[in-house]
Structure 1
Amino acid sequence: MRPGRTALLAIALCGFAAVPAQAATIDVVMQNLVVKPVEVTAKVGDTIRWDNKDFVAHTATATDKSFDVMLPPGKTGSTVVTKVGTFDYFCKFHPNMKGKVTVTP
């Protein structure tokens, strides 16, 4: 086989062997009326999971209304991010609890 064809064949085979990236789960903890970490970065298709470690209910409510997750005391809740952008969120019951999710392609 000629060198040019070998390189072309190698490139073609690499394309078929590529495995799509798996979606990740990004954890955020709500404890002592604080969100940690305050800012997270995710990719489209990833899951953001909030873990409420407080004895009171919280929410993760996007200011643009793109998600609204209810978090009973001691429970978790999640959302799958589906679009690129920066999404600020807060707790409806404790508006001083704020966070930000940045979603990349």
Structure 2
Amino acid sequence: APDPPAGPGTIVIKDFVYSPIPAQVKLGQSITVTNEDSAAHTLTVPGGVDSGTLAQGKSFTFTPAEAGELDYLCDIHQYMKGRIIVE
């Protein structure tokens, strides 16, 4: 039997770190980022998708428009960086 389609990609922000890095999804698959920190964070792709400020426990879901690598950061803490690979 064929494998069931993969569930949506998930990125968790905890202790000022995005996990996993890199996150990998198939084109057309959505990604949900959830902030588990007490501090607010964002997931911002420069010139692209921006979650806006996520308070603790808040989530943001988006679907990448094209294949490739998306490098992102936290607009509030710019040393926080991550990458999404869209296949």
Aligned length: 84
Q: How does 1:1-105 map to 2 (within 5 A)?
A: 22=5, 24-63=7-46, 65-70=47-52, 71-104=54-87
**Percent of residue pairs identical:** 31
Q: Compute the TM-score of the two structures, normalised by the length of structure 1.
A: 0.72
CA distance in 2, matches of 1:76, 1:100: 18
CA distance in 2, matches of 1:56, 1:62: 20
Change (3 A) 1:74 1:58: same
Q: Compute the TM-score of the two structures, normalised by the length of structure 2.
A: 0.85
Moved over 3 A (4+): 21-24
Structure 2 unaligned runs (5+)?
Answer: none
The structural deviation recorded for 1:27 is 0.8
The structural deviation recorded for 1:22 is 4.4
Counterpart amino acid of residue 29 in structure 2:
D
The structural deviation recorded for 1:44 is 1.3
Structure 1 unaligned runs (5+)?
Answer: 1-20
The structural deviation recorded for 1:23 is 6.4
CA distance in 1, matches of 2:29, 2:6: 5
SS at match of 2:75: coil
The structural deviation recorded for 1:41 is 1.3
